[in-house]
């Protein structure tokens, strides 16, 4: 996966557009200035979580004994499930809480959820350059941050139908990327099994 595809995939998995209504519901009882402060705080927490999973991904995979092919297939399946949810969404509700949202549910799991964490782990296993990996995560995260920081203005500009259309377009993009990850992962698994059988036959 090249740099541009990796950024686009992670951007849509973070689902900034889809999270705007949920964030608005969670923060509706706070002044606008405080809303922006909370959003910035939760975005930075999510960024740290994503970096942790991205740069420790190889170590985690080594401990679990999971190969890159298996990770790509599982990541592709999760992305496909996310895409189906974006294309055929179910009504989402936000539970009111007395305390101010902190980490849960905004940073985790709305932003740094299972899909985004698996995605950055896959990127960490496939991108050799740590600088490139950091750039991919930062660009996707920063784009999402802009959307959420100016969420009220964006919601008024696009309208509800415009936001739904953008989310469905993102779902279509994720379907394409998930299928590519699945086929690449399956090909890698088959190649690894072939090499393993070849080595065993030569012993």
pTM, 2 dp: 0.77
- Give the model's pLDDT for residue 139: 97
> How crowded is the C-beta side of 90, counted as CA atoms within 13 Å?
5
Per the prediction, the chain carries an average pLDDT of 84
What tens digit of pLDDT does each residue of 112-131 get? 987 888 889 888 888 889 99
Q: Is the pLDDT of residue 89 over 90?
A: no
105-110 long-range contacts (CB < 8 A, ≥24 apart) are 105/26, 106/23, 106/26, 106/38, 106/39, 106/42, 106/46, 107/42, 107/43, 107/45, 107/46, 107/49, 108/45, 108/46, 108/49, 110/19, 110/22, 110/23
Phi, psi of 102 (to 5 degrees): -145, 115
- Domain residue extents for the chain: 3-202
Which distant-in-sequence residues (6+ apart) come within 8 Å of 161 by Cβ? none
Number of C-beta neighbours around residue 26 at 10 A: 23
Q: What is the pLDDT of residue 133?
A: 95
């Amino acid at each position: 996966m090249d740099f541009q595809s990796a950024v686009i995939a992670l951007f849509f998995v973070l689902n900034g557009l889809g999270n705007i209504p949920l964030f608005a519901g969670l923060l509706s009882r706070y002044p606008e200035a405080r809303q922006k402060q909370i959003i910035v705080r939760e975005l930075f927490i999510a960024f740290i979580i994503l970096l942790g999973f991205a740069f420790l991904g190889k170590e985690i995979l080594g401990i679990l004994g999971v190969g890159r092919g298996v990770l790509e297939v599982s990541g592709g399946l999760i992305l496909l499930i996310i895409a189906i949810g974006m294309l055929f969404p179910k009504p989402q509700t936000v539970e009111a809480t007395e305390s101010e949202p902190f980490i849960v549910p905004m940073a985790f799991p709305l932003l740094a959820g299972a899909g985004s964490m698996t995605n950055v782990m896959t990127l960490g296993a496939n991108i050799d350059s740590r600088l490139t990996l950091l750039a991919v995560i930062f660009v996707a995260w920063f784009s999402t941050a802009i959307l959420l920081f100016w969420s009220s203005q964006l919601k008024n500009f696009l309208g509800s139908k415009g936001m739904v259309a953008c989310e469905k377009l993102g779902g279509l993009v994720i379907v394409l990327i998930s299928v590519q990850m699945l086929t690449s992962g399956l090909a890698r698994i088959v190649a690894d099994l072939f090499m393993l059988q070849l080595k065993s036959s030569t012993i």
